[in-house]
Each structure stands twice: as C-alpha cells, then as structure tokens.
Amino acid sequence: MDFLRRQLRGRMHLGGDAPKWAWVEYRLAQGGFAEGLAAAQAARAGGGFAAWKRALGG
C-alpha cells in the first residue's frame, strides 16, 4: 500500500472502507430480496451504520 500511495500521490486518494461497512457490503452481496428490503429500511432510518445493523439483523 505504501508503494501505491507514493506512486499515486497528488493524483488520487487510496484508502479502504472501515470493517463495519465491509460487513454491510458483504451482507448485501450475499443476500437476496430480503436484503434489498433491508436497504430501503436502512435508508428510511437515516442510512447510518446503526440503521444498517438493525435492518440486516446484525
């Protein structure tokens, strides 16, 4: 990562998501229709991590 950051300095930001958001992404990627409904519920509840956690049952 350090090598990539040095090479890209000033042209783009290189970073990653927090592990908690990776969990949300995983649940959505592995899910089906129920996770789609959970996404709508989380959005209506404000879209924060706590809303996602409640909606996905985590």
- Radius of gyration over every alpha carbon of the chain, rounded to an integer in angstroms: 15
Could you report the per-residue pLDDT of 18-54, keeping only the tens digit for each? 889 999 999 999 999 999 999 999 999 999 999 999 9
Q: What letters, b where the CB count within 10 A reaches 16 and e where it falls short, cover 2-40?
A: eeeeeeeeeeeeeeeeeeeeebbeebeeeeeeeeeebbe
34-to-3, 21, 55 alpha-carbon distances in Å: 41, 18, 10
Say whether pTM exceeds 0.75. Answer: no
